[in-house]
Amino acid sequence: MSELGLKPAASPHRGGETHALAALDDIIANESYTTTFSKPSTAPTAFSPQATTLLSPHHHFGSLSVRLFYHRVQEVINRPANKKRASTIPTNLIGQLLFRDMYFGAQAALGYSFAQTYNNSHVRFIPWHLPSKIDPSNGLITGEYTIDSEEAEKWFQRWKFGRTGFPWIDALMRQLRQEGWIHHLGRHAVACFLTRGGCYIDWERGAEVFEEWLLDHETSCNTGNWQWLSCTAFFAQFYRCYSPIAFPKKWDDEGAFVRHLVPELKEYGKKYIYEPWKAPIADQKEWGCLIKGDQLGEEGDFKVYPKPMFDFNERRGICIEGVKNAYHVGLYGNDPRVKDGSWRKLFDDRAEGPTEGTKGPTVEGQSGTADGDEVDVEKMDMGVDQDEREAEHKGGENK
């Protein structure tokens, strides 16, 4: 590699059929793991070794047959000694393949529009910040987006490059950028944080980052999971958000994952590892890292880690109200009012997101009206039953 002028690989993951088959053999040899695997029970903070199979990149690149994986796992599960203790669909290994096929099927049915909100019949329309620009000649996203809020753009860049000031989120985004992979529940956490659980930024922005950096990226699975986590499709319990503090503590109270990927905080005490901004200044200096500003860097003998970019509890409440209002309005991506821009008339100008004015944020030349008709929001269809019973996030593909 060095003789070719190439840098050493930053990712520990290796490709090729030889590696894939060896990894599969190791998994199948661990009969208990293969039989009892349950995705929600695997730790998103495990990194040496990881808690899941890590075979999804091989499925993506074709170095491991999905059918081979299915039959070898099924053979283990079907053994008489394993049937009673085997985990079940949708959380077991077979279930992960079925989720993968579910998303492939959804994409096959909708075509290009599956990967965007505009003109998508199954995705709820929510006026997120940083909406995609649309090519009026074909109705497809262009790969560019409108910066309707400088603050939202700043939040997006801090999220993307792992400097939000929330160590759990930053550790995950740094792992994604460095290794090309993060655990499924980690993907849940950063996706929820960017969309309905903090930033209120369009899920399409996050999907683009994942497309750029994930080794196992599949358009169908990536898109479907972002729609799931943004509660625009597949999942509707938008009031359930992943806390960047409480959730990782459940899995890694000592903060080993954060210390590994956010090394500037490695000396911090357990009490403050997920909330370093609460540490007394004297302790920050003792541990060699100051919490200040919005950038990473150094100040004299100290490293600098940014303050959190917002109050999470406050932002979570704002986001929940925003999504709740959008659910009440009840638009989907193929609604004529979404396509002509007149959706703005249904949202208060003070609402979160780019709601002011009449012109749509996405398509050049929109009139912003729908034949001049006024719409009574109170008489519109709510769309789904907002059942507030708790439910597990079980969605995902084989990771």
Q: Tell how strand 297-299 and strand 302-305 pair up.
A: antiparallel
CA distance 257 to 399: 18
Q: What is the tens place of the pLDDT at every residue in 355-388?
A: 876 554 456 545 443 333 333 333 333 232 222 2
pLDDT for position 327: 96
Q: 8 or 384: whose pLDDT is higher?
A: 8
For position 380, what pLDDT does the model report?
33
pLDDT in tens, 282-294: 999 999 999 999 9
Contact 116, 362 (CB under 8 A): no
Mean pLDDT over 54-63 rounds to 97
Extract long-range pairs of 188-193: CB within 8 Å, 24+ residues apart.
188/229, 188/242, 188/393, 189/44, 189/242, 189/244, 189/247, 189/248, 190/159, 191/225, 191/226, 191/229, 191/230, 192/229, 192/230, 192/241, 192/242, 193/159, 193/164, 193/166, 193/169, 193/242, 193/244
Query: Sheet containing 289-291: which strands, arranged edge to edge?
Result: 289-291, 302-305, 297-299
Residues 86-97: what's their mean pLDDT? 97
Mean of pLDDT values over 36-52:
94
Q: Give the mean pLDDT of the chain.
A: 90
Please report the pLDDT score of residue 362 as a whole number.
54
d(CA 83, CA 73): 12
Q: What is the pTM of this model?
A: 0.89
Cβ(107)–Cβ(115) below 8 Å: yes
The reported pLDDT for the residue numbered 399 is 44
Q: Are 23 and 53 in contact (CB under 8 A)?
A: yes
67 compared with 364, residue with greater pLDDT: 67
304, β-bridge pairs: 290, 297
3-state secondary structure the chain: CHHHCCCCCCCCCCCCHHHHHHHHHHHHHCHHHHHHCCHHHCCCCCCCCCCCCCCHHHHHHCCCCHHHHHHHHHHHHCCCCCCCCCCCCCCCHHHHHHHHHHHHHHHHHHHHHHHCCCCCCCCECCCCECCEEEECCCCEEEEEECCCCHHHHHHHHHHHCCCCCCHHHHHHHHHHHHHCCCCHHHHHHHHHHHCCCCCCECHHHHHHHHHHHCCCCCHHHHHHHHHHHCCCCCCCCCCCCCCCCHHHHHHCCCCHHHHHHCHHHCCCCHHHCCCHHHCCHHHHHHCCEEECCCCCEEECCEEEECCCCCCHHHHHHHHHHHHHHHHHHCCECCCHHHHHCHHHHHCCCCCCCCCCCCCCCCECCCCCCCCCCCCCHHHCCCCCCCCCCCCCCCCCCCC
Bigger pLDDT: 331 or 6? 331
For the ranges 10-24, 226-240, 345-359, the lowest mean pLDDT is seen at: 345-359
Residue range 167-206, pLDDT digits in tens: 999 999 999 999 999 999 999 999 999 999 999 999 999 9
Beta bridge partners of 57: none
User: In terms of pLDDT, which residue wins out, 65 or 6?
Assistant: 65
In this prediction, residue 391 carries a pLDDT of: 32
CA-wise closest residue to 316 among 243, 237, 389: 243
- Look at 94 and 373; give whichever has higher pLDDT: 94
Residue 152 identity (one-letter amino acid): A
Bridge partner residues of 305 (DSSP): 291
Distance CA 224, CA 230 (A): 10
Average pLDDT, integer, range 251-257: 97
Instruction: Give the integer Cα–Cα distance in Å for 324 and 224.
Output: 21
Q: Say if residue 320's pLDDT is above 80.
A: yes
pLDDT exceeding 90 applies to what percent of the chain? 83
Say if CB 307 and CB 294 are below 8 A apart: yes
User: 149 and 355 in contact (C-beta within 8 Å)?
Assistant: no
Q: Which residue's structure tokens are 């394993």?
A: 82
Query: CB burial class (10 A; 0-12, 13-18, 19+) of residue 175?
Result: buried
- Helix pair angle (203-213, 184-194), 10° resolution: 140
Give the pLDDT of residue 344: 93
> In the prediction, which pLDDT does 52 show?
95
Q: How far is CA 301 from CA 275, 290, 294, in A?
A: 22, 10, 19
